[in-house]
Amino acid sequence: MTTPPAPHPSPETLLSQVATALGHPVAPPWADAVRAVPRDRFLPDRIWLRDGAGGYAPCDRAVDPERWGEAAFSDVPLVTQIREDADGFREPTSSASAPGTVLRMLEEAGIADGQRVLEIGTGTGYHAALLAHRLGDGLVVSVEVDPVLADTARANLKGAGRTPTVVTGDGALGHAAAAPYDRIIATCSVRAVPAAWLAQTLPGARLIVPWSTSWITYGTLVLTRRADGTADGRFAGYGSYMTMRGQRAESDLDRDLLRDGQRPCRSETALSPWAVAGEDLDAQFAVGLRVPDVWHSWDTATDQAHTRLWLADDAAASWASVDYDGRQTARFPVRQHGPRRLWDEVAAAHRQWVRAGEPRVAGHGLTVTAEGHRVQVQGRRSPPEQPSAP
């Protein structure tokens, strides 16, 4: 008996994968949009896929069309733009989000007919095309800071028969000319909700905003704009997007912080560095919310320890390190230098999270006012989030 050929990747393949990720079938209006807006039309001929070694390798449509097509109709994020430095390090500068994450955000937005939507971060134009199919071109505005990406998105949209407004500009400023909006959806993460977004929305408007701290880029904020111009809402445990360009930190450990002759304060800790910077995203998220402007990186190349966790602040004024010797896990040597004792701050944040019952990402809320952001903790670590209904 002849084995039938494997089905060619298509929007139906993608919808099946997304339904599995969501835990329920894609709602009909969005399923229709996915069928009408094939993802492959919004991807460049060269995309970049994970190489299995922590980096990225090119995948060219002309060279390997089968692999390229499989990636295009898979529920995975795809890097579409790379910046390579003099040492050969490849840093993604733009990507096509995983469709499952995109559709989850669209569900969170609760979009209805006749609503005006502002998208922050046009990218390839795929997300804007889904919105335009659902609402009509005239109700969708998308802002892209990169002129090249904006031009590419306009061409992609035109090729798919869609003509939403694509503005080249700073997404943090929104687009006042077409305001007010009923919904704002960002496809880049932020560390603070820009004031312009609240100023350009109607009372009751919903904002879907991927979140970022210096410690971790993870979580999605679902906000409702109030009549007094403030907003409040909750976090959801999904979403990892590149940080908005104007909110990225530029400090570098070797270049800006480490100096000969420094005399760091030495101590020991019983708190494992993996407890705050390991695979527990709930713990990392909690630390990021509670310890502002501090980032971390792992180092396995140092001769002084088996593994070292580095901490540094965005101001390039303080650093800390926590060492693992490869043998015992009861105590870890700590060094701290600068006006802030960064490891002490992180350890205190972890204790606060534990005392609160180790709440998940969704156990945190946020209120946005003219004075800034206020975090609320809603309780103990709850069961895993259930997918929302379509």
Report residue 287: phi and psi, to 5°: -65, -45
User: Tell me, what's the pLDDT at 248?
Assistant: 58
- The radius of gyration computed from the CA coordinates of the chain, to the nearest angstrom, equals 22
Q: Are residues 103 and 39 in the same domain?
A: yes
d(CA 335, CA 378): 34
Give CA–CA dist 163/203, Å, rounded: 28
Q: Which residues are CB-neighbours of 279 under 8 A, at least 6 positions away? A: none
Please state whether beta strands 165-168 and 220-225 pair in parallel, antiparallel, or not at all (unpaired).
Answer: unpaired
User: 3-class SS at 55?
Assistant: coil
Q: In whole angstroms, how far apart are CA 61 and each of 6, 34, 52, 73, 153?
A: 19, 21, 20, 13, 19
Amino acid letter, residue 350: H
Domain of residue 341, CATH code: 3.30.160
Is 163 within the bounds of a domain? yes
Global pTM reads 0.88
Confidence of residue 8 (pLDDT cuts 50, 70, 90): low
Are 261 and 345 part of one and the same domain? yes
User: What is the average pLDDT score of the chain?
Assistant: 90
Show which residues are catalytic.
97
Domain count for the chain: 2
**What is the bridge-based pairing of β-strands 220-225 and 201-210?**
antiparallel
Is 23 within a domain? Answer: yes
Residues 178, 141 contacting (CB under 8 angstroms): yes
CATH number at residue 95: 3.40.50.150
**Surface-to-core class of residue 196, CB atoms within 10 Å of its CB (0-12 exposed, 13-18 middle, 19+ buried):** middle
Q: Note whether residue 242 is domain-resident.
A: no
Residues 220 and 284 occupy one common structural domain: no
Give Cα separations from 132 to 13, 123, 163 (angstroms).
22, 15, 8
pLDDT tens digit sequence for 334-349: 999 999 999 999 999 9
Q: pLDDT grade, residue 386 (50/70/90)?
A: very low
Is 226 found in the same domain as 161?
yes
What is the strand order of the sheet 46-50 is part of? Answer: 56-60, 46-50, 78-84, 90-96
Q: Pick the residue with more confidence: 380 or 131?
A: 131
Residue 165: give the domain boundaries: 11-236
40 and 189, same structural domain?
A: yes
**Residues 97 and 19 placed together within one structural domain of the fold:** yes
